[in-house]
Structure 1
Amino acid sequence: MSRPESRPEEIHLIVETVDRYNPQNISVLEEYVATQLASNQYDRTACLALLKLYQFNPSEVNLYVVASILALALGALPESDFTLCLYLLREDWLEDPLVAHLVHMHNLLEQTKFAAFWRYLEEEDAVREFTSNDYPLFEENVREFIATTLGMTFQTISIERLEEMLDLSGEDLGDWVKSREGWGVNADDDSLVDLPVTAWNQARSVVVQEDIRFEQLTKILARSRVAQ
């Protein structure tokens, strides 16, 4: 992965050299994770390097920081970073309540259960407080992923359904739709929103291919000669 423009030189020298295995750099990388949350500047390489250090030095693990990295990876969907992070976690770390919340939320998003995702976020005070205080653009990033998914599926969607999937309504939803290129209220039915046509959601012709073995083909040709 190329170096993010926001990555400080100090961090770059850690993650791109043998220093990424030095446990003395754990605190530096932890501070960098907090900076990423606040600035919405995600650095996958640095996050994975910290999880690897935790894996090698389990007594040094900070599960709040682990949850922070998972939240950043969740905000990077549809990239597969969240799964990469899970591979580096010990089983007992998954029992941490905040970590478990984020894993469940990832499952809901992967299953496109968007309305259930927003309900879960609203009901779980711990994760809602965490994202609100430490990762202010978390919801915006999740909506970006949902919009990408909807754009691959629909050309038109009802406003009612869009409200459920994005957890937005009224002027908030209207402003959000206006901010997206190619999105807009349907000219003939103001209860619908039109999405831009893409290579994913456009209608495709269906080609049916029927495979016939050579032995079957010779029998068919023989019968046709008899019929003649």
Structure 2
Amino acid sequence: MGLEIEQVTSQTYSLDANLCLLRLYQFEPERMNTHVVARILIKALMAMPTPDFSLCLFLIPERVQMEEQFKALIVLSHYLETGRFQQFWDEAAKNRHFLESVPGFEEAIQSICKSPS
């Protein structure tokens, strides 16, 4: 079982492990699995307000970031960081098909929205 899948199924999170995997993908791009990368970014979104999302995004090639699911995640991150929660939830609803691949996403984001900045 991949570390990323273990994090999803057990609802745990390891930034260090995720950064290591993204670095591996930098050195061996032919091994990159965009579904895995998307789940890593979703988990990083769930860790807001930490800078994890930006740290992970920095290691992802621009060509991958241009794919629709990644563009949507970048927009969601921006809305969350700027406190534009209604726009966040509207955009999240449009992308539910891949956001639901990570259990606990909605609850984690609701917790972020409720916490004082």
TM norm structure 1 = 0.49
Structure 2 spans left out of the alignment, 5+ residues:
none
Q: Does 1:89 align with 2:50?
A: no
**Whole-Å Cα distance in 2 between the matches of residues 91 and 44 of structure 1?**
21
> What's the % identity of the aligned pairs?
35
**Whole-Å Cα distance in 1 between the matches of residues 70 and 108 of structure 2?**
19
Q: Alpha-carbon deviations, 1:127-175, whole Å to 9, x = none? A: 302222x212001111111111xx34xxxxxxxxxxxxxxxxxxxxxxx
Instruction: Name the counterpart of 1:69.
Output: 40
Structure number with greater CO (CA < 8 Å, separation at least 6) is: 2
**Whole-Å Cα distance in 2 between the matches of residues 129 and 39 of structure 1?**
20
Kept in 1: contact 2:41–2:73 (CA 8 A):
yes
SS at match of 1:102: helix
Runs of 4+ in 1 over 2 A off after TM superposition: none
**Whole-Å Cα distance in 1 between the matches of residues 71 and 5 of structure 2?**
20
CA RMSD after TM alignment: 1.2
- In structure 2, give the amino acid aligned to 1:107: H
Pick aligned residue for 2:114 from 101, 122, 147: 147
**Whole-Å Cα distance in 2 between the matches of residues 96 and 63 of structure 1?**
9
**Whole-Å Cα distance in 2 between the matches of residues 140 and 39 of structure 1?**
15
Instruction: Name the counterpart of 2:70.
Output: 99
TM norm structure 2 = 0.93
Kept in 1: contact 2:80–2:88 (CA 8 A):
yes
Q: Alpha-carbon deviations, 1:31-73, whole Å to 9, x = none? A: 2111211221001111000000001111111111111100000
SS at match of 1:77: coil
Pick aligned residue for 2:50 from 79, 82, 92: 79
Kept in 1: contact 2:22–2:60 (CA 8 A):
yes
Instruction: Name the counterpart of 2:98.
Output: 130
Kept in 2: contact 1:71–1:102 (CA 8 A):
yes
Structure 1 spans left out of the alignment, 5+ residues:
1-27, 153-228
Instruction: Name the counterpart of 1:52.
Output: 23
Find the structure with the greater CA-based Rg.
1
**Whole-Å Cα distance in 2 between the matches of residues 45 and 80 of structure 1?**
13
Kept in 2: contact 1:63–1:99 (CA 8 A):
no
Instruction: Name the counterpart of 1:42.
Output: 13
**Whole-Å Cα distance in 2 between the matches of residues 37 and 146 of structure 1?**
21
